[in-house]
Amino acid sequence: MTTHSLKYLCAGALALGLSACSVTEWTLPGGSEDQLAFDRQECRSLARREADRILKRQPLPQPDAGPVIGSEYDAAMARYDLSRQIDRMFVSCMENRGYRRASRSLFD
């Protein structure tokens, strides 16, 4: 492959990669930006409160002192799982309020 061809190939790959860049937004037909901001904050608060209730019933594991890799891994995975639960609760709250997720290009 020549240098000239490689440049075109790289430029094409870059253009394709950038065209795939998008951001997800919440939409509500007839909804205002103020309503979106309020509902987003309300749903985040509800999800965090529920996460706090979960943590009171079942605290996250704490890694043992010293070089015990398994316990650090377990603690990290438990934090990750809780984070995913919070995300699911937030999404559910927003959808229950009538919002839908929509993707738009970063370059519009």
- Residue-wise pLDDT for 51-102, tens only, equals 989 888 877 776 665 555 567 777 788 888 989 999 999 999 999 999 999 8
The token pair at 14 is: 């870059």
pLDDT in tens, 49-62: 999 898 888 777 76
Q: Which of 103, 101, 108 is nearest to 27 (CA)?
A: 101
Number of domains composing the chain = 1
pLDDT over 80 at 10, yes or no: no
Q: What is the per-residue pLDDT for 9?
A: 56
**Where do the H-state alpha helices sit in 1-108?**
3-19, 33-57, 69-96
Domain span holding position 84: 3-105
